[in-house]
Amino acid sequence: MPIQRNEIGVSTKPLAVTPSDTVNLATPARYLYVGFGGDINVTPEDGPEVIYRAVPTGAFLFVGTVRINNTDTNASNIIAHL
């Protein structure tokens, strides 16, 4: 089920992410927490992949995404909030 725009709210299912260029998340993420900063390449539900550059450590990235790609992602300890 696609997430609705402007539907942030409280995460009920945080999930540690292993970036992959081929495997989607089982459920689209509502937003991401970045434990160790860097670049993050995501594939949104309704568009082409996007690279967020220089995301700081401890940031929340409010982007609905179905996949965190391994290519061009050097941030780590990423938690997807479903």
The one-digit pLDDT tens for each residue of the chain (82 residues) are 455 555 556 777 899 999 999 999 999 999 999 999 999 999 998 889 999 999 999 999 999 999 999 999 999 999 999 8
User: For residue 7, what pLDDT is reported?
Assistant: 58
Domain ranges of the chain: 14-81
User: For residue 12, what pLDDT is reported?
Assistant: 75
CA atoms within 13 A on the CB side of 31: 15
pTM: 0.85
